[in-house]
């Protein structure tokens, strides 16, 4: 039984007569060798997919494939097999599409590379993001000089709608009636505990009213009102609504990817210090979803000494460090490694502090080819699928 399904459009030359039996044999071959179920369908269905899969059954299908590609803007995936001049046709189609600057992938039955299951996961990730509505509360923080791509980019490439919301809309929903946040605290009182709860309620109300699937907030704009969003964003993320800091949309995309891949949140943080010789990166931020931590204390926000933040101990284990970057999200950084059990305990960094160990080459790239500040830790190993997802839907068009 195949693990995943992919809709495909069969292409066959009229010279080969009836192609149904051939299609059945090729589909069975992909099922047996790749554990992927290809579902033969029509062109109108394939047009609506985030990636458009063409099953090249025979030669003589080149012009038909090119004509179909002209109908769509997304990546084209060509599936070929060993007989009926399928591979020669697929190579010609792929070459033509590359000449036109299109994103195209060719997967040949029998190579044993395992490309198709990975591609199916990347397509499923893209499909899950389409139609999402994300709130941008306030403007991106002014220091995010490399992390503020045009919001339409998210719609053009991924089908994500960015909904602008003013900070005033948050402040108008903050009331004084809320049960104080519980938990062991350090240097905080009842006022900070109630503030954290009221900001959470205000953001939750906005999520429901605007039908948001995720949000990022220019949280430093709350400080003049002696408020922070650190606690609230962690609560939203734990509830399946990725919550990002400082109006950083690329970081929010990484948090959304974490939610879709794992069913749970990621940890958004600043790369604060590193040790190239030992391959260690210290990440720190003042908010963390409680589902990711083994224990925590409530503290004030690091830079301001105000509000309610979280000093958590992120559970050790395998993680993937993720960063989308570039003016149009055309760059990406994906590195697998491990969160170590050791505690940092520094008072000159944001409250939650993590030591992430990864390959020396990947860590060197953080310095050599930086994509910006915020990175996101996603539980588990996901580098391969994220690299393919990025290459298909963000990098090459």
Let me know whether 51 and 109 are in one domain. Answer: yes
Let me know whether 23 and 94 are in one domain. Answer: yes
Q: Which of 78, 112, 129 is the last residue of a domain?
A: 129
Output the pLDDT for position 2. Answer: 45
Output the pLDDT for position 1. Answer: 37
Instruction: Enter the pTM of the model.
Output: 0.94
Helix (H) / strand (E) element for 375: namely strand 375-379
CA end-to-end span of the chain: 35
Q: Which of 73, 104, 129 is the last residue of a domain?
A: 129
pLDDT band (50, 70, 90) for residue 146: confident
How many CB atoms sit inside 10 A of residue 391's CB? 15
Let me know whether 236 and 366 are in one domain. Answer: yes
Which residue, 286, 207, 197, is CA-closest to 246?
A: 286
Count of structural domains, the chain: 2
Let me know whether 230 and 164 are in one domain. Answer: yes
Let me know whether 366 and 323 are in one domain. Answer: yes
Let me know whether 255 and 159 are in one domain. Answer: yes
Output the pLDDT for position 16. Answer: 59
Q: What is the pLDDT of residues 283-337, one digit of tens each?
A: 999 999 999 999 999 999 999 999 999 999 999 999 999 999 999 999 999 999 9
Query: Residue 283 has what DSSP assignment?
Result: E
Let me know whether 190 and 96 are in one domain. Answer: no
Let me know whether 138 and 108 are in one domain. Answer: no
Mean pLDDT, the chain, whole residue set: 93
- The CATH number given to whatever domain includes residue 27 is 3.40.50.10940
Counting every residue written for the chain, the total comes to 397
Let me know whether 244 and 191 are in one domain. Answer: yes
Let me know whether 97 and 159 are in one domain. Answer: no
Let me know whether 322 and 390 are in one domain. Answer: yes
% of the chain at pLDDT higher than 70: 97
Let me know whether 21 and 124 are in one domain. Answer: yes
Tell me if 37 sits within 8 A of 8, measured CB to CB: no
Q: Domain of 354?
A: 133-395
């Amino acid at each position: 039984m195949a693990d995943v399904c992919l809709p495909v459009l069969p292409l066959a030359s009229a010279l080969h007569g009836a192609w149904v039996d051939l299609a059945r044999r090729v589909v069975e071959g992909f099922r047996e060798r790749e554990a992927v179920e290809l579902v033969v369908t029509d062109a109108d269905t394939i047009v609506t997919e985030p990636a458009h899969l063409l099953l090249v059954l025979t030669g003589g299908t080149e012009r038909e494939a090119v004509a179909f590609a002209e109908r769509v803007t997304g990546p084209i995936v060509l599936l070929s097999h060993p007989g009926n001049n399928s591979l020669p046709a697929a190579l010609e189609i792929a070459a033509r599409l590359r000449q036109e600057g299109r994103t195209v992938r060719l997967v040949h039955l029998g190579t044993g590379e395992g490309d198709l299951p990975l591609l199916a996961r990347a397509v499923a990730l893209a499909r899950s993001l389409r139609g999402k509505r994300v709130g941008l509360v306030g403007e991106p923080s002014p220091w995010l000089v490399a992390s503020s791509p045009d919001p339409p980019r998210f719609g053009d490439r991924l089908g994500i709608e960015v909904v602008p919301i003013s900070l005033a809309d948050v402040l108008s929903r903050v009331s004084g009636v809320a049960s104080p946040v519980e938990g062991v605290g350090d240097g905080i009182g009842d006022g900070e505990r109630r503030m954290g709860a009221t900001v959470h309620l205000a953001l939750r109300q906005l999520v429901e009213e605007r039908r948001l699937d995720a949000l990022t907030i220019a949280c430093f704009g709350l400080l003049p009102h002696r408020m922070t969003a650190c606690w609230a964003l962690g609560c939203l993320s734990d509830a399946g609504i990725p919550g990002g800091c400082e109006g950083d949309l690329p970081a929010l995309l990484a948090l959304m990817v974490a939610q879709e891949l794992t069913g749970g949140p990621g940890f958004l943080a600043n790369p604060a210090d590193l040790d190239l010789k030992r391959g260690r990166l210290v990440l720190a931020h003042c908010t963390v979803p409680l589902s990711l931590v083994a224990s925590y204390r409530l503290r004030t926000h690091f830079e301001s000494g105000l509000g309610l933040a979280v000093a958590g101990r992120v559970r050790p284990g395998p993680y993937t460090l993720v960063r989308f970057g570039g003016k149009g999200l055309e760059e990406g950084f994906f590195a697998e490694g491990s969160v170590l059990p050791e505690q940092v305990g520094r008072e000159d960094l944001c409250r939650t502090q993590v030591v992430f160990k990864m390959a020396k080459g990947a860590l060197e790239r953080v310095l050599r080819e930086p994509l910006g500040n915020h990175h996101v830790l996603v539980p588990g190993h996901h580098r391969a699928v994220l690299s393919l997802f990025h290459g298909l839907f963000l990098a090459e068009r």
